[in-house]
């Protein structure tokens, strides 16, 4: 949260990795892979409210948009998932169409997640409908259901 929104390292590298702060201790080798090529910013959503993070990211994206934006969050953490949503919200605010790579970490293994999955995860009712549709018999999938 203390990094300048258009700091010299971001202007030079033009690649930004925003990561869950706990990864520095839990899986430092994952962040080390990005050290030379990306500006790495870490934040803990237990320490800072999501609105503060969104505001900071929006300022950064508006003033000094990176060519590449990657977010790395711990999978399953209710706090870390907010980091994924913070990126989405900041991009909406500034109206940028920046390509974002969403990476989730589980037991120090990285998995890339499709941006549509991140967007969909904000809407539990839509997920419930998808799960219900998949559970239906294949012959019933075309029917409209309530609930």
pLDDT tens for each residue of 85-115: 999 999 999 997 788 999 999 999 999 999 9
Q: What is the pLDDT of residues 20-42, one digit of tens each?
A: 999 999 999 999 999 999 999 99
pLDDT band at 3 (very low <50, low <70, confident <90, very high): confident
Segment 33-53 shows an average pLDDT of 95
What is the radius of gyration, based on Cα positions, of the chain?
A: 17
Q: So where are the chain's domains? A: 8-113, 115-147
User: Tell me, what DSSP letter sits at residue 41?
Assistant: E
Pairing of strands 68-74, 15-20: parallel
Band (pLDDT 50/70/90 cuts) for residue 137 is low
Q: Which residue has the higher pLDDT, 136 or 120?
A: 120
Contacts of 30 (CB under 8 A, 6+ apart): 23, 72, 105, 108, 110
Are 27 and 110 spatial neighbours (Cβ–Cβ below 8 Å)?
A: no
Report how far residue 110's alpha carbon sits from residue 99's, in angstroms, rounded to the nearest whole number. Answer: 18
Gap between the Cα atoms of 13 and 3, Å rounded: 15
pLDDT value of position 5: 87
Using left for φ > 0, alpha for ψ between -120 and 50, and beta otherwise, residue 76 falls in: left
Domain 8-113 class, CATH top level = alpha beta
């Amino acid at each position: 949260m203390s990094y300048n929104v258009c700091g010299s390292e971001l202007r030079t590298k033009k690649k930004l990795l925003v990561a869950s702060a706990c990864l520095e201790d839990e899986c430092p080798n994952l962040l080390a892979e990005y050290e030379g090529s990306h500006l790495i910013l870490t934040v803990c959503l237990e320490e800072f409210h999501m609105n503060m993070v969104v505001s900071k990211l929006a300022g950064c994206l508006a003033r000094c948009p990176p060519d590449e934006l990657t977010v790395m969050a711990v999978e399953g953490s209710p706090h870390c998932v907010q980091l994924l949503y913070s990126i989405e919200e900041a991009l909406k605010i500034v109206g940028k169409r920046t390509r974002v790579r969403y990476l989730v970490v589980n037991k120090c293994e990285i998995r890339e997640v499709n941006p549509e999955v991140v967007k969909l995860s904000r809407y539990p009712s839509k997920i419930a409908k998808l799960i219900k549709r998949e559970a239906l018999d294949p012959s019933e999938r075309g029917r409209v259901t309530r609930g």
